[in-house]
Structure 1
Amino acid sequence: MVEHAGRTPVHFGDEWWGSFADPFRVLATKVADFFAPPAEASKDDDMYEICIELPGVAEDDISVALDHGTLLVSGEKKVERHEEGKSFIFSEISYGKFQRSFRLPGDADGERISAAFSNGVLKVSIAKKETKSTRKEIPIHK
């Protein structure tokens, strides 16, 4: 048995092969598997940051856009299997097109966004708008 965090253990035995006999079970598993790359968002006093794991995706196959306050990240992880005569018993590797969208907070500055891609991780940095003090001292008259 091979265990991965957050995944169902894969049994290499009769129980595993039995799934081939139950097409609805296999179909349910495939419907639940869609290519939505994992992401995390963080913030500090000056900036928001969104990191998306995209291992195996080429930088040229990634698009980052801002549309009405929503950050859109889309792209494609292309299948590069050219192995004649080989059939796969199972595959947990996701291929195909993907899209993630993130509604930005009101204090995010849509004019100051940058993106960098390194080691299979896309990092999008969004500056926060500079806040001007609205405080005004009111003199007290005698």
Structure 2
Amino acid sequence: MSPIKIKLAKDIEMLEIKMRRLMENMFGPWSASTPAAAHSYHPAADIYETPESLVIRMELAGLNKADISLTLHRQELAVCGRRRFPSSEPVQRFYHLEIEYGNFERRFQLPKAVEEARVEAEYNNGLLIIRLPWRQAGPSQRISVKEEE
């Protein structure tokens, strides 16, 4: 292998390490050793914040709504499912196969507390959009201080 290719490979590896650290700082720890890595399919996700909520948008083309499961526990959202291979006829030979099939699991650490009862999920045209409204702080309460007698 030429020195240029080795240097490029090292640069790409360093970029990957830096990106992993950046993502961990923003969204919490993740690595290839998490249970999600045992699944065969890793759907893409966009995560953004609005003044009212956190929004997670996932690309899940080819799934049925019944194949998607959402679980919210404390400040972690788990999105699980399965994309099934669509062909019912026997396949003799593949010439090109890029679409991923199988089970998937994505876990997202939420940066703030959310109103669990108001979480909404919508699946349309292959996109799953999850809206997690921020938990509002309750009204301030004045506390009186008693004097010792």
Per the normalisation by structure 1, the TM-score is 0.65
| Structure 2 unaligned regions, length at least 5 | 1-39, 143-149
The Cα of 1:106 is off from its aligned counterpart by 2.4
- Matched ranges for 1:71-90 at <5 A: 71-84=77-90, 86-90=92-96
Which residue of structure 2 aligns with residue 10 of structure 1?
none
- Structure 2 SS opposite 1:111: helix
User: 1:110: how far off?
Assistant: 2.5
Cα distance change, pair 93–65 in 1 and its aligned pair in 2 (3 A): same
Residues 85 and 94 (structure 1), Cα distance of their counterparts in 2 relative to 1, 3 Å cut: closer
Aligned residues: 105
Q: Which has the higher strand share?
A: 1
The one-letter amino acid paired with 1:111 is A
Cross-structure match for 1:69? 75
Where does structure 1 lack aligned partners over 5 or more consecutive residues? 1-33, 137-142
Residue 135 of structure 2 aligns with which residue? 129
Contact 1:72/1:100 (<8 A) preserved: yes
Task: Give the greater-gyration-radius structure (CA).
Answer: 1
| Alpha-carbon contact 1:69-1:110 (below 8 Å) kept | no
Match of 2:63 among 57, 60, 77: 57
RMSD: 2.4
Deviation at 1:35, TM superposition (A): 1.1
Instruction: Tell me the TM-score normalized by structure 2.
Output: 0.62
For 1:99, the equivalent position in structure 2 comes to 105
